[in-house]
Chain A
């Protein structure tokens, strides 16, 4: 190492990017992977829990089902409360070290990371999905039931598509939170962006410069995520315009799929 050491802030920034850019980007990749997979699995968990929590129990439901439902609801409520009510950094420690101590499972740090992020996101998403479902006008459910749909069909074709559209901003929120909060997984040595930054900073004791670069990388990731999600949101809202159909009976292919003929933006 004969080269002169940089003397200015930007000199250091350039130096660090040259030296550690690859390592930081790799860390950023791990962060993104954890955040995206964790959010997706979390959404799946949340969707499942949210749907089960809104299963209607009427006076016609038989007693066995009622008792089973009570038990399931208790377990799900406990899950949501516990994982929302404890810090993810602590959950990471408990899962990573606890799996070894209690179950004798030698879990990789990465696997523990996926697990913690997914389960944590699931607990928040469960509440979001539940909120999304109960926010749908009761008339929609009634209309679906009035044309003969059962609970599952009503959920699948009418309520969930609308609820999902409404909770898209919240899913985006969760993704962004996860991109940032996976940084706590450094405590179990997951080599995500924060962990990579800390290692890089430690070599030359240039904490400010390294974390300045880290900051920029985090922001680029969250900003890109929010823009991409906004795009999906707009697409889900559907076309703002529609075409009148002159003689629909004459052209059966013109109705489905409504791809090319639909106007609007």
Chain B
């Protein structure tokens, strides 16, 4: 692929996904290197979210391979739950557990899945809640928080299992404009610290400024894949140009 020198930690090979008769993803190929921050852009319905959901197997790919740390995660022998603790996910609609407080949200997986002690889990959870600026709110319940606060807690919850890669599925799309900034700020920090991230987003400025690589998708295929300078500055394909032109017009 383009600029990685390091060995990829995740490789997607010939990924195909059908929903019934409809082919949503057509032969997707790409690799993710350690520390890559990849923004996936494209129109709604282009398959971006489906691709992301296939990566952590919330959707089962129809065919293709997903190689993580040298092993195909689609092998029937693979422990999916264990794999998912290494590939975290942040959702558009936050999906914080409504029956738990903020702190419990961030502790539940380390305690029940990773079998950490409560004290250790609490320390880790507090560390990440501090990082996203939500440490004061540990006793609050999700429905008492604003959208931006919920999403920051959701990011802390995902970080608390210490994933190798963190997937973001349109993390700011459900937020009021004034709350988008606080979430993007947290993500920018994570990027600077070298966390490997794949971000499906409509925030073009963020994609341009923060990511190390931008993928443009349309109709279930990767049309363009390159550095932000390449994709935004001098897109090779007609469709990318059209998409970016329409985007700059609209905003």
Contacts and interface: CB of A to CB of B under 8 A. Distances in A.
Interface of A: 58-60, 137, 139-140, 142-150, 153, 157-158, 161-162, 165, 238-239, 242-246, 248-249, 252, 255-256, 258, 261-262
A47 to B, nearest CB: 16
B84 A148 contact: yes
B81 interface: yes
B113 A153 contact: yes
Contacts of B2: none
B158 interface: yes
Interface stretch (B139-147, B178-186, B197-205, B229-237): B139-147
A245 B138 CA distance: 7
A139 B119 CA distance: 28
Contact of B89 (A146, A150, A256): A146
A142 B113 contact: no
Given A148-B113, A149-B109, A258 B84 contact: no
Contacts of B93: 139
Interface string B113-150: 11000110010001000100001111111001000000
Interface string B145-176: 00000000010011001000000000000000
B13 to A, nearest CB: 19
Contacts of A140: 95, 97-98
22 contacts: A59-B60, A140-B95, A140-B97, A143-B154, A144-B97, A145-B81, A146-B89, A146-B91, A147-B84, A147-B89, A147-B157, A148-B109, A149-B113, A150-B81, A157-B97, A157-B108, A157-B112, A239-B141, A244-B137, A248-B135, A258-B101, A262-B139
A158 B99 contact: yes
Given A144-B97, A149-B81, A162-B99, A252 B136 contact: no
B140 A148 contact: no
Interface residues of B, number: 42
10 residue pairs, one from A and one from B, having the closest CB atoms = A143-B95, A148-B85, A147-B109, A139-B95, A146-B89, A242-B140, A148-B113, A161-B99, A244-B136, A242-B139
A232 to B, nearest CB: 15
Given A161-B99, A256-B118, 18 more contacts: A60-B76, A139-B94, A140-B95, A143-B154, A145-B58, A145-B81, A146-B88, A147-B84, A147-B88, A147-B89, A147-B157, A147-B161, A149-B81, A153-B112, A158-B99, A249-B126, A249-B130, A252-B122
Nearest to B106: A147
A58 B58 CA distance: 11
B200 to A, nearest CB: 14
A60 B112 contact: no
Contacts of A244: 136-137
Nearest to A162: B99
A143 B113 CA distance: 13
A157 B97 CA distance: 9
B144 A242 contact: yes
B82 interface: yes
A245 B126 CA distance: 12
Given A60-B60, A148-B85, A142 B91 contact: yes
Contacts of B85: 147-148
Interface string B45-89: 000000000001010100000000000000010000110110011
A225 to B, nearest CB: 25
Nearest to B62: A59
Contacts of B97: 140, 143-144, 157-158
Contacts of A238: 141
Contacts of A150: 81
B139 to A, nearest CB: 5
Contact of B56 (A146, A162, A165, A243): A146
Contacts of B140: 242
B103 interface: yes
Give the most central of A143, A149, A248: most B CB within 10 Å. A143
Given A157-B108, A244-B137, A137 B95 contact: yes
Contacts of A142: 58, 91, 95
Nearest to B96: A143
A139 B91 contact: yes
A140 B97 CA distance: 6
Given A242-B139, A244-B136, A148 B81 contact: yes
A56 to B, nearest CB: 12
Contacts of A242: 101, 137, 139-141, 144
A149 B89 CA distance: 13
A214 B33 CA distance: 77
B60 to A, nearest CB: 6
A147 B158 contact: yes
